[in-house]
Chain A
Amino acid sequence: MTPRTNPSDRWDPERPSPVWDAPLDAIEGAAEVGVLVFAGYGLNCEAETAAGFEMLGARPRIRHFSDVIDDPTALEDVRIVVFGGGFSFGDHIASGRVFANRVRARLGDRLASFVDGGGLVLGICNGFQTIAKLGLVPGLQRRAGDPLAPQQATIEHNDRLGYRNGWVRLRIEPESPCVFTQGATGSLLEVPSRHGEGKVLLDPAFEAEVLEGHLVPVRYADAEGNATEVWPDNPNGSPGGIAGLCDPTGRIFGLMPHPEAYLYPENHPDWIAQRDAGCLPTRGSGLGILAGGVRAALR
């Protein structure tokens, strides 16, 4: 793999910084990996999420949540469950709240045994808000066979009230056990961020354990690559720049930004400049997060 120079938003070929560079090609054996992508209730990113897994050769299937509830075999033959982006129940009350309550009540036990069996869970944006409220991340102090853990973190309104769509730089933390971010070189990944509630707050009782366990796989970074709390590099004021959380196994991962919205090189705001400079990737770098999941599902 040839390392690429950094296409940051202040495009500057003279000052390269290390791009998080995961292999983006189709993965051998990926056809074994069934991926369940939830739809319904106002979720709206299922198409691009499934398209990404398809590009990698996996077998994604978009299913309405109510059909999954009605189908006792729905989680069989599935290695990755994705809670994707959107506005489940309009984010009314609080983002992900109504959906998380419903998932806990109707699918909680099946999800618990799914993750106990080594299943992977990815939550993106509204999906992250949902799995945090569902107790899947950080999911501390839960033993196999237990019900889902209680909620230990929450996602609050952005400090600057309101939705914001803009690209952010994520610093990928190499010490994290997160399997979705492994297998790449470099540390900076650019992806779109699109949310109104993205400020991650940890229950103080669990904060130390989360940080010591490196359960923060991704942080918002400034142009120098340092974690930041400063807007707009950090769009929501999340302390320490926390952009996502994983569980101690690293197989459950949620993040606010949207790797599934960077499947094509042309998604990047500077893609024409990247092409002129000869460093346009063959596929969108966001695909690397999905690829990490597929590779882990095969292990």
Chain B
Amino acid sequence: MTVHRVEIRSSARAGDALGAQTRARLRAWLGVDAPRVSTRRIYHLDLGLSDDEARRVCAALADPVSEEASLGLLEDEGADVWVTVAFKPGVTDTVGASVKRAAEDCVGRSLPGRAYASTLYLFWGVERSVLQTAAPKVLCNPVIETATVSSEPRTLDLGVPQAGSDAPPVVGTVALREADDHTLQAISKDGMLALTLAEMQTIAAHFRELGRDPTDAELECLAQTWSEHCKHKIFAAPIDFVEEDGTVSRIERGLFRRYIRGATEAIAKTRQESGIDEADGPFLVSVFHDNAGVVRFTESDHLVYKVETHNSPSALDPYGGAMTGIVGVNRDSFGTGRGADLLTNVWGYCFARPDYDAPIPSGLMHPRRIRDGVHRGVIDGGNQSGVPYSRGFELFDDRYLGKPLVYCGTAALMPVECAGVPTHEKPVEVGHSIVMLGGRIGKDGIHGATFSSAELDENAPVQAVQIGDPITQKMMFDMLAEARDAGLLSGMTDNGAGGLSSSIGEMAEFTGGARIDLARAPLKYPGLAPWEILISEAQERMSVAVPPEHVESFLALARRREVEASVLGVFTDSGRFEVTYGETSVVDLSLEFLHEGWPKPVLRAELDDLAVEVDGLPEGWQDEGAVGERLEELLASHEFRCTVDIARGYDHEVKGLSVVKPWIGVHRDVPSTATVMRARHGRSEGVVLGEGIAPFFAADDADAMAKACVDEGVRRVLCAGARLDRMAALDNFCWPDPIRSEKTPDGEHKLAQLVLCCRGLRTACEAYGVPLISGKDSMKNDAVLDGVKISIPPTLLVSVMGQMADVSAVLTLQPRGEGDVVWLLGMTHADLGGSAAERMGGRFSGAVPTSDVMAYAQTYAAFAEVRDAGLVRSADALGRGGLGMALARAALSSDRGLSIALPSLPSLGAYGWLFSESTGRILFTTAADDAAAVERALGPHGLLRLGSVGARGPGAAVTVMHGTRRVLERPVAALRARYVGHGEG
């Protein structure tokens, strides 16, 4: 076909925002000064258009008011160097797909072939060699894009990045039966299978019994299904844990069953015995066995919540990896039961410091660039999906240099019933069709599941990265919601990690079997081997079960909505997962072996005394007279400084349901304690979201870390107004490899930390009566680069979802009136280990806060009563940065002064008072008239009257007395200057 090339540039009036941003980045990131940069959009149309049609399409693509377009080349304007940035062959090109759609609309017929989008940068006054170096750092990501740098006169370039091959779809076999151990290990490593020797031996034995060798697809399918990512082997394996006294406890059924599921089952039992759910039905509607957890909310809606991590892909391609993180977790929550309506997103990132200045090992990106790409990816993915964000946080620690942590989550509303059937159920029956819909299959994302179950090294596969296409997904969700409401489907699940091999392999368990034909799967380009089709993690796909009588209407609806849907096969009761390519058998595995056949070795966990005292606190750091400087330094640090300009890139108001937004205060630039959304239009009920994360406590005491996480999450939603009896939590573990090996000699220690963390998690959840309804673990967060191993600190994230009956009762941390009383609820101890103030000073050791969760639970019940009586006017959960940071938030959010008096205690100086991170504490305000009632109700729970709220105005200041001495006096304006002074974003 003839290829046409369209080149478009903006008029001078319209300006060139991308050019301006590129100039700014070159300067900020590389110190390169480019006197002038301009950009143009290029589209290659390989669509079988006549020249006349191409001219019409060209005109339809450009803006008649602000742009100039040419079929061919526009003039060069005397630029010195030009750089063309284009996708590599086979990378998802969403803009190209829209160009094709626009061309079809323009010529009024459907077109063969493809369109390709690329960007042309023109530079004046910069050397070609400079741009050669700069291009992969600023203009493109070499993993997915190519940059062609040239200073020669331009010629018309009509080449397109065609992907695929004419290779026939061949099914190979792997000679496992006769392989020795060395060969088995080599097959696993060379094939990116991430299977252990014991697992390879088990597979070989299984096939010896069958009297044949496995096909390549069978081995890949087992590798996907048995991957740590999909099977959570570390959480399922028996563990011998060496207790502090040297005795060994056997955790026979694994950590998940004992501690996580165990906590939830215990809470369900307590609820049942108490009769608390008698009126409304059980709180726990569907937990652990679906894509996301489901809890009861109103008579017409359940709530769904899921948080995922997408760490490894984000390390390779921050933008694409993070975007697939958010649109992927959207599919998890959407694909729960027979479909839920997405309500809001959450995110959280752990990076190395953006100003990291040591050399970066080869194979890694600078944390500043990872941060920028991750934000943009989740911004685009969330915004284009029409889902607002509620919660977001960033933590910085250089141990996240090797693998950044990228948490993405989604809460959703599930109608209690659809088409007369409870929506959380999937009544899939034998004979129902297996339909795949959404995006097409390519080589993208092959080995994502096994790759994320391995450490990162220089040989990470580029195809492990997927590019998100939120619009294809949004159109698919809209269509599936219609199909759900019309009763056209009986079940669905997301095609995520492991692709079809995992999604159909799992759904097969509904009926006890499934049969699919890969030749019916739509491909992005020819030449994929059957095993590649089976395990590709190409994005924006769901697998759906459709009863035979509805298949025709389901497919017709899909066509009308321009969603590609293909019937791949049928659910059976054969007990087998059968895959063919046309007539050729590709996979024939028993479901029992596929899902339960993996060997469970007993793991050993024992704490080492590895504690290294790292104490670099400068002289005078903790001095009483320096607490004001400390507070200002914290406010200006990466951990606490104002990042609202980055956060405003994320839509947080689409759907029109926000009540407490992510950023609050008179300047709308202080992060809220928890966020609240009205759940449905015209109703008063609200969903309250908060979270807890405390990786800096893990080294000292992983049990304490877990309790601190649950406590912080619960306390946040409690402060905003959530009911105590309707909270639910998610656990996300991100761990360094906890399996002892040559590369991980301290594996038993890391596994012991995991055991302790799980214990603390269960203890806290049971104390608060907060069930864990879903979770995720990511267990190989290490990188070995240039021979150096970088492991993340053990990191648990607990995300808490609360409920309230009437959103008009919410509270924020913002003090509301002059003369209001400031209170501190909960005891402050000298818990400075892992605290923000100590870390900033260079001390990374010391006792971390332990949490008396049973006592806290009583305190919170008492606080909730006072709150629900309407006495509390503002409330904030103390967390990182302690009381000092909470006071700063109160002042910054209200522009009011605060007069605070701290009692003199022998165990706690002013520094300890202000920067201890003791858990279980709430800073709140009430009217002065209510002080006596507050004292009566909360006095027994460690209540301290701290002082009062001052007036607004230029003179507003925060003053802190310690005993008789004034230890801190800062105008609110001065604190604000430090807080916003860096202008990030």
Contacts and interface: CB of A to CB of B under 8 A. Distances in A.
Interface of A: 9-11, 39-45, 47-48, 51-52, 54-55, 64, 66-67, 70, 85-87, 89-94, 97-98, 101-102, 105-106, 133, 150-154, 156-167, 192, 194, 199, 201-203, 258, 260-264, 266-267, 269-270, 272-273, 276
A166 B648 contact: yes
B932 interface: no
Given A98-B105, A154-B65, A161-B20, A93 B95 contact: yes
B668 A89 contact: no
B105 A154 contact: no
Given A101-B60, A154-B66, A266-B659, A90 B98 contact: yes
A133 B62 CA distance: 11
A194 B475 contact: no
A61 to B, nearest CB: 15
Interface stretch (B217-225, B542-550, B649-657): B649-657
Given A40-B478, A267-B659, 16 more contacts: A10-B667, A44-B385, A48-B655, A55-B682, A66-B562, A90-B95, A97-B102, A154-B65, A156-B10, A156-B17, A158-B17, A165-B649, A165-B652, A166-B668, A266-B658, A266-B659
Contacts of B471: 41-42, 87, 89-90, 92
A192 B384 CA distance: 17
Interface residues of B, number: 68
Given A47-B681, A92-B99, A194-B651, A267 B14 contact: no
B63 A97 contact: yes
Nearest to B644: A166
A168 to B, nearest CB: 12
A185 B814 CA distance: 31
Nearest to A266: B659
Given A48-B655, A269-B661, A165 B650 contact: yes
18 contacts: A39-B478, A42-B386, A54-B681, A87-B474, A91-B384, A93-B41, A97-B61, A98-B101, A98-B105, A101-B106, A154-B64, A163-B383, A165-B651, A203-B64, A258-B653, A272-B812, A273-B816, A276-B817
A203 B65 contact: yes
Contact of A165 (B105, B648, B681): B648
A102 B471 CA distance: 16
A185 to B, nearest CB: 24
A133 B478 CA distance: 25
Contacts of A101: 60, 102, 105-106
A237 to B, nearest CB: 8
Contacts of B653: 165, 192, 194, 258, 261, 267
B157 to A, nearest CB: 20
B113 to A, nearest CB: 18
Nearest to B668: A269
Contacts of B655: 45, 47-48, 261
Contacts of B15: 156-157, 159
Contacts of A133: 63
Nearest to B57: A101
Contact of A94 (B63, B478, B667, B678): B63
Interface centre among B95, B97, B474 (most CB of A within 10 A): B474
Contact of A157 (B17, B651, B656): B17
Given A66-B561, A90-B98, A166-B668, A260 B475 contact: no
Given A89-B471, A151-B65, A261-B653, A266 B678 contact: yes
A64 B658 CA distance: 26
A90 B61 contact: no
Given A39-B478, A93-B61, A161-B18, A48 B561 contact: no
B63 A42 contact: no
A109 to B, nearest CB: 15
Contacts of A258: 653, 656
B668 A85 contact: no
A165 B117 CA distance: 28
A45 B106 contact: no
A9 B681 contact: no
Interface in B84-98: 94-95, 97-98
Contact of A105 (B61, B105, B385, B667): B105
Contacts of B60: 101
B379 A163 contact: yes
B21 interface: yes
A261 B469 CA distance: 26
A163 B651 contact: yes
A273 B665 CA distance: 10
Q: Which 6 A-B pairs have the closest CB atoms?
A: A44-B386, A48-B656, A92-B98, A51-B681, A90-B471, A154-B65
Contacts of A41: 471, 475, 562
B560 interface: yes
Contacts of B108: 105
A272 B681 CA distance: 20
Contacts of B21: 161
A204 to B, nearest CB: 8
